[in-house]
Every structure is written in structure tokens, then in C-alpha cells.
Amino acid sequence: MNKKQFVLIMTDTQRLDMVSCYEDKGIKTPCLDALAADGIKFNKAYTAQPVCGPARSAIFTGQFPCINGSYTNSVAPGLNVPTIGRRLSDKGIHTAYIGKWHLDGGDYFGLGTAPEGWDASVWYDMRNYLEELTEEDRRKSRQPTVMEQEGITAEFTFAHRCANRAINFIRDHADEDYFLVVSFDEPHDPSLCPEPYASMYREFELPKRPNIYDTLENKPTHQQVWAGPRRFQDREALRLNAWALFGCNSFVDHEIGRVIDALNAQAQPPAVLYTTDHGDMLQSHCLYAKGPAAYEEICHVPFLLWGFGQGEVETPVSHIDIAPTLWDFFDCGEKPMMLQGESLLPLLKGEQPASRDVFIEFGRYEADHDGFGGFQPMRCIFDGRYKLVLNLLSEDELYDLQTDPYEMDNRLEDPLLRTVRDELLARLLAHMNQVRDPLRGYYWERRPWNTDANAATWDYTGFTRQRSEPDYEKSQLDYNTGLVPEELVRKKF
């Protein structure tokens, strides 16, 4: 009897040029390369928000961060937002989670307890890992200098312990339907890794992308503030030598390979999806880490699907599509309204749309921190070539990635692209209305450059857009009648 088994493997902070099957810049990932060679490689996959918690919230709830409530780190999704783990568990699928969660609403490490729907006996997050360590070893686990001072073993790392647990689960549950998540924190800092990885890239320099020399003259003000003094550094003298990050990147590839080997040992290997939550700017556009921008370095993510044949997909896809894909894979029936992406399985059957938009957003980096630019609302639409970015508190952006793949030239007010820009804006506003974006309103349309904007009105569209989750909530009621409404989207008087 065939079993329905699906394994989602993810990392944290992995750029495309840190995965050599996408861009071979000298950082080696042989295990992921093998996965790509034997599977399907998506060439235009995007995060829903380039920050850890919000990115994960989109993956595991199937709702955009602004909708599920986790629009920033340190804020959990709403109580009325079931995870895909709970949805599948309620359909009789064994759901298990091993690794970084970052959706508890608390600190970086989590609470050490399984949310509803996930197998509590399997659950293992970063809090559980730290609680296995002595106080001294906890400190070491957060200090990259330990690699130079005394070195570490693979067995000490979070990645190795997660892989061990995943291998055991795969072996022990070979005869049942399951959905397993293996979520590595690596290569995110402190980027701890054993030899030979710890010294593998000591003398390595990541080749400079042309946008290393973009000093943001024609870019949004908030990006200039973010860059700070980096704008005035000698960009020629800059060395991109994040040796610990790159070494840990190859180390986590090795640990992923151990999990894949365990899957291959099964008579019927499970389906696998690999991705990461976001990338890292690494000084492109004079910026660092991640934050309120839609640049390729932090939003364009590796995305490999294994077990569905071989090939490459050029159609844009998003993390928001993962939950509906799982729903479809496990034959759960009609997709719930609040799974806001689309299943990717039709793409694998050659049913590719001529074009497809993906949407990226930003709210805040972290609720607990005053820094990182604070509240920086951003909404973005990308159609596979053109990318329109609306920065509500700053200036907007438009890029043609076919002629300008490094996003150097902001062509927002280029008359040659006015029609393209205006059509993207119309589709972005329609998307915000359709998904019930809580920040939707006239101000996104009335940008300084949009001379055709409708007049500002307090009622905006005049519609109310209620949600529907019949399996998890009582039906919404009409404000005017107190009865179940005939239509969820309707004029509100």
C-alpha cells in the first residue's frame, strides 16, 4: 500500500549564491545539488517577507504575515489561525516538527513545547536543544569564537541533533502517512560548524555582485538610513569574507545529505521540498542582514522539489504556496479560503499559467527591538520580470530584472514603463483587497507619482471582507442583521 509521506527541509539565511546548483560562486553544496539534479528546481521562488518569523508564518499557516498576525519577529500568529500541521493532523496525517520554529511569539529559541496539531513526542526546537546543554555549553553555542579557540564537534551542533532525530523518525514511521518538517537554524549566525567546514572558507572571498557598488543615490531614503556609513566606504576595498557563514552553509548541506540518505533507504522515498526562509544582503546595495526591501538577495530563495520527476520551473512561486501544495498532496479536499496561495502540483503537470504574480511584504523586523528601522510598511508585486515596490513611509521602486538583474536602476518614473508600473499597481491593490490586508486603504494608491489615482475617500472601496474557516470558527455574522451573510465580500453600510 502506497503511503503519503512528505518532508519539508529548510534552512535559515541562505542566498541563491550560497547554493551552488543555483549560482556556483565557490560555496559548495553537493547534497542540495544532487537533490536538484534528481528533482525539480524552481528558478523564481520568493519569500513572503524577508524576516525569519514572518517568513515562517507564511509557510506554516498558508496566510500572508499581515493576515496571520505574525508580521514581525516576536509576535505569534493569531489564535484563530491554524497551522498546516494542525490542518493535516485533523485530516489524520501524522505531523511532526524538528528544528527551529520561531513562531511562539517569544524569544529566538522558542518555548520548547509543541503547538496544537504537532506530535509532542517528536517536537524538538532550539529551546529543547539549549536545555540539553550545560550553562557553559549554552554560552559556547552562541559564540562563533569557540570555533577558533577550541573547535567543536558535529555532535555539539543543533543541525546534527536535528538530523539525527529526523533520521530516527523516517526509520520508525516508514509505514504510515506523515508530514515531517526538518528546520535547521544553520547557517544563521553564530554559524557554528566543525572541521573541515570551520576553516574551509577562511581565505575565500565571495565574488562581488555589481550592486555592491550601488550607493543608493536613486533609492528610497529609508534604505540610505539603513546603509548608514557603508554608503561611503571604499567599495573596491570591501572583502566579502563571511567565512563562518559560508562554512556553516556547507556543513548544513552535509547534514541535509544525511537526512536525504535516510529517505533514499526507504522502499518508497517520501516527497521532499527544500527551501530557506530568506537570504542576506551581504553588503549588496550597501545593506546588511535583511529588512524592509524586496531585493533579490533577501527575497529570491532556493526551492527544490523532489519525488515528482525532473526539470526546472520558471513560473514565479512563493512560500505562500507551500501549505496549499501540502493540502493538495494529501488529498484533503477543497482548499480552505484562508490558504491564500495556490498548489504547485498543477505546475508539475505542465499546467503552467502564462504569467503569475508573487507578493512580498514587510511590517517590522522585531516587536521586541527598537532598532532595525522600526515600522517600515512595504508591499511588493513581482511578475517574473518587473518588480514594483511600495514603501509607504519612503520612496517607491520599479525594476526590470530582465535588463537590470542586480536592481541598480530604479525606473519608477521612466515614461517607457509607465503602463507596466500602473498595471502592477492595479494588481497589487487588488491583491491587498482580496487577501484582507489590514493596511489596505487609499494611501497605497495615492503615491506621489500616480497622477491617475482616485480621489481619497474615507470609505475606500466601501466593502467588508470577512473570513471563512468553517472547520475552526463559527460562521461570521452580518453586522446589520446578526445573521450569517450570504456573501463574505459585500458593501457595508
Q: Which residues are catalytic?
A: 52, 102
Rounded CA Rg of the chain: 22
Q: Which three cell numbers stand for residue 300?
A: 529570491
The CA distances from residue 75 to 107, 108, 339, 368, in Å, are 9, 11, 20, 9
| Omega of the bond leading into 187 within 30 degrees of 0 (cis) | yes
Which of 42, 44, 87 lies closest to 63 in space, CA to CA? 87
Q: Which residues contact 35 (CB under 8 A, 6 or more apart)?
A: 256, 260, 272, 274, 304, 306
Beta strand 94-99 with 178-187 is parallel
Q: Which three cell numbers stand for residue 464?
A: 467588508
Asked if 276 and 302 touch (Cβ cutoff 8 Å), the reply is yes
Residue 175's Cβ-count burial label (10 Å; 0-12, 13-18, 19+) is exposed
Q: Which three cell numbers stand for residue 311?
A: 526539470
In the block, residue with C-alpha cell 530584472: 401
The CA distances from residue 454 to 398, 413, 451, 460, in Å, are 21, 19, 9, 10
